[in-house]
Amino acid sequence: MIKKAENIIVGISIGDLNGIGSEVVLKTFEDSRMLELCTPVIFANVKTISFVRKSFESTAMLHGIDRLDQMVVGKINVLNVWREGFDINFGTNDETVGKYAIKSFVASTKALKEGLIDVLVTAPINKYNIQSEEFKFPGHTDYLDKELEGNALMLMVQDDLRVGLLTDHIPVNEVAKHLTESLITQKIDTIKKTLIQDFSINKPKIAVLGLNPHAGDGGVIGKEEEEILKPTIKKIFDKGTLVFGPFPADGFFGSNQYEKYDAILATYHDQGLIPFKTLSFGKGVNYTAGLNKIRTSPDHGTAYEIAGKNMADFNSFKEAVYLAIDVFHSRNQYESISRNPMKIREKQEEKKY
């Protein structure tokens, strides 16, 4: 059954309540047109979110529920994940607030896993104050990789610009030893699959960036390109995947080469994120590719420095909601076509004319 747009259930983990997450969530859904696109469910507590709403004089109307079967289409539903109250002090790092951020995230992930929500959009957390005996993960992606089927890959998306990461939250001095043929092959396979099923690109072209300056300059400035990246890329290309590189990262973005590819695979976090955030104009989205469920998030953090000041730009969060819905539709269409060979032939015939 194809869902009507407004019936797509978007679960939202509230993130760090001392940051800007709750502000961008409420600002996104103040626009009633958003409720024609989906039914949001915020995993938190209605009294807590009402406090935030009043502090910003938000016009968002909340509907508190105790069970997901009580959600109402056309309303901003808030599922009561906890009952007790606690202090919210915008702009401060607080372990108690971090604990509730994880309560929201774990509950929303469970609902996603069980199919009670269709997609998950996560507001920003503080990676420091979430750590505990029960939660020992660097962030959202690592936990989702453990809980959901597949191999998680961080893919930053803004329109046709898509930047994935070979390695993400590891120290720079450990990147080289993580670059193995197995990892590179896995990440390229994941990007190819997500471009086909989630972005409806039939023959995706993927670029891989080099690790070293000038992509190693033929081995003069590092051996990783010659010894690992080039042979692995060639092996994958020879099997039919349109993958190219490794390219020197600076010239690749500076000369607009990135526009020729459907996705770019960076070797480490800042190599991919710095150009992406520069080019995405505050509308970038972090998409967790490679999993059997759909999760997106804005491309920014808690922004304590502006939290509580009604200054947060909500465009990245809104784009995260849009992308989650788009991927939901694309994946459903892909699965429907895959189950029906006649539809594949029909689409091939359409392309001839």
Model confidence at 6, pLDDT cuts 50, 70, 90, reads low
pLDDT in tens, 296-335: 999 999 999 999 999 999 999 999 999 999 999 999 999 8
pLDDT at 167 over 50: yes
Query: Which strands make up the sheet holding 205-209, listed edge to edge?
Result: 62-65, 76-80, 39-44, 9-13, 119-122, 294-298, 285-291, 150-158, 161-165, 263-266, 205-209, 242-247
How many structural domains is the chain composed of? Answer: 1
- Read off the pLDDT of each residue in 156-182 and give the average, rounded to a whole number: 94
pLDDT in tens, 99-157: 999 999 999 999 999 999 999 999 999 988 998 888 888 889 999 999 999 999 999 99
pLDDT in tens, 46-59: 999 999 999 999 99
What does the pLDDT read at residue 242? 98
Domain that includes residue 7, residue range: 1-149
- Read off the pLDDT of each residue in 82-105 and give the average, rounded to a whole number: 95
Of 33-42, 102-111, 147-156, 341-350, minimum mean pLDDT range? 341-350
What does the pLDDT read at residue 234? 97
Over pLDDT 90: what percentage of the chain? 84
Q: Does a structural domain hold residue 298?
A: no
pLDDT in tens, 266-292: 999 999 999 999 999 889 999 999 999
Q: Does a structural domain hold residue 77?
A: yes
Q: Does a structural domain hold residue 71?
A: yes
Q: Does a structural domain hold residue 6?
A: yes
What does the pLDDT read at residue 168? 87
pLDDT at 28 over 70: yes
Average pLDDT, the chain: 92
Model confidence at 2, pLDDT cuts 50, 70, 90, reads low
Q: Which residue has the higher pLDDT, 90 or 127?
A: 90
Model confidence at 3, pLDDT cuts 50, 70, 90, reads low
pLDDT in tens, 180-204: 999 999 999 999 999 999 999 999 9
Angle (CA) 68-69-73 rounded to 5° is: 90
Burial class, 281, CB count within 10 angstroms (exposed 0-12 / middle 13-18 / buried 19+): exposed
**Domain at 86, CATH number:** 3.40.718.10
Angle between helices 181-197 and 230-238 (to 10 degrees): 50
Q: Which residue has the higher pLDDT, 32 or 108?
A: 108
What does the pLDDT read at residue 352? 45
- In whole angstroms, give the CA distance from residue 83 to residue 70: 17
Between strands 76-80 and 62-65, the pairing is: parallel
What does the pLDDT read at residue 353? 43
Q: Does a structural domain hold residue 245?
A: no
pLDDT at 92 over 90: yes
b/e map 9-44, b = 16+ CB within 10 Å? bbbbbbbbbbbbbbbbbbbbbbeeebbeebbbbbbb
Over pLDDT 70: what percentage of the chain? 95
pLDDT in tens, 286-298: 999 999 999 999 9
Model confidence at 98, pLDDT cuts 50, 70, 90, reads very high
What does the pLDDT read at residue 351? 46
Q: Does a structural domain hold residue 216?
A: no
Q: Does a structural domain hold residue 98?
A: yes
Q: Which residue has the higher pLDDT, 105 or 1?
A: 105
